Amino acid sequence: MKQEFNLVATAAAGLEAVVGREIRNLGRDCQVENGRVRFKGGVREIAETNLWLRAADRIKIIVGEFPARTFEELFQGIFALDWENYLPLGAKFPVSKAKCVKSKLHNEPSVQAISKKAVVKKLQSYYHRPEGVPLQETGAEFKIEVSILKDKATVMIDTTGPSLFKRGYRTDKGGAPIKENMAAAIILLSNWYPDKPFIDPTCGSGTFCIEAAMIGMNIAPGFNRDFAFESWDWVDSDLIQEVRDEAEDKADYDIELDILGSDIDGWMIELAKKNALEAGLQDVIKLKQMQLQDLKTDKVNGVIVSNPPYGERLLDDKAVDILYNEMGKTFAPLKTWSKFILTNDENFEKKYGAIADKKRKLYNGTLRVDLYQYFGQRIKRTES
Ligand code: SAH
């Protein structure tokens, strides 16, 4: 089997650089592109990135890249790839996704069907199976994806399974939760460190608080779930166990954290508590029912992260205007605190009453949103 693979970590638009930083922190060089970050590595890196990347969507192996302007080119290009190095006899290998962008080939179902035929033909020939007799696909699953961008095909195998944002702690969604990997990315973009207080005053199901606690304790985000590659026969299960054991050793369960989530809705607080319990963080995160207008604190240098209701989504426009205005008034006295607010409202700054120090364009699912960033003032120490 192969020792080294060309890999990509896929990421939501706007989060690629965060994922790139995470991969470098794991000790791998990488190249940041639109929607994905490329890097190289073996099975260990596949395991480590799946387990540790907080902001990515999926880790995929690039089996090959080639020009594909016609179905014949696509078929031959796929047939020529070294499928025998990935797919054992008996493997299940759906071509689960085809995406064509700015390319001559644009019929995605046909791209899927042709790609499948090419892989089948290659395996029949490699494993000396008669043509015309379908391959038995009863074994582990290898999801194949074909993306054609400007007439260049990239053929990948997904190693992750359900997207990495599915950490396994969410018991119920509640109203409009933010994706776990987006929440983690925003905290990684903020200037929060585990020694600073953290508040999400519109915490809903508690996603930001749970992600902050996992970052603070250095808990691997994937510790509570499995990944597709773990069922592949050429993946050494001892190596996976080693990577999981190392993650367990790296976690710091004793660190003191000051993380508070509050929400006006008592039912959401109950849900947040259930999720925190599922993540094993019920004693780490404080959760209470409170309207954000009542937020007061004497603590300094903290970080507030909030994903308040947006106009069309949860509240009517007038109520949102009032809420953003009150938010501005409530946060203003907290001068040393940094505030990170995610909303799709383009007039947010006007309603909130202050111009952001920085804005970052992100996508919450398909909804374009901005992260409004207000940095806290540093307290100057008096020289003695
Ligand atoms: N990030 C959350 C979702 C937040 S949705 C998650 O991942 O689940 C916005 C939340 O703001 C809702 O839960 C809503 O109950 C809360 N909210 C609305 N008005 C509020 C107010 N005045 N004070 C505090 N919370 C409020």
Specify the ligand 1 atom closest to the Cα of 207.
7
pTM for the full predicted model: 0.94
pLDDT tens track for 203-261: 999 999 999 999 999 999 999 899 999 999 999 999 999 999 999 999 999 999 999 99
Q: Is the dihedral of CA 19, 21, 26, 29 positive or negative?
A: positive
Q: Which of 302, 294, 290, 218 is nearest to 261 (CA)?
A: 290
Mutation test of ligand 1: which of 166, 167, 268 has the most ligand atoms closer than 8 Å to its C-beta?
268
pLDDT tens track for 285-335: 999 999 999 999 999 999 999 999 987 655 577 889 999 999 999 999 999
Distance, in Å, from the CA atom of 5 to the CA atom of 9, rounded to the nearest integer, reads: 13
- What pLDDT, on a 0 to 100 scale, did the predictor assign at position 99? 96
Domains of the chain: 5-157 (3.30.2130.30), 180-220+228-374 (3.40.50.150)
Q: What angle do CA 185, 189, 190 make, to 5 degrees?
A: 120
Q: Who lines ligand 1 at CB under 6 A?
A: 174-178, 201-202, 204-205, 207-208, 263-265, 268, 291-292, 307-309, 323
Distance, in Å, from the CA atom of 10 to the CA atom of 16, rounded to the nearest integer, reads: 8
Distance, in Å, from the CA atom of 211 to the CA atom of 231, rounded to the nearest integer, reads: 27
- Protein residue closest via CA to atom 15 of ligand 1: 265
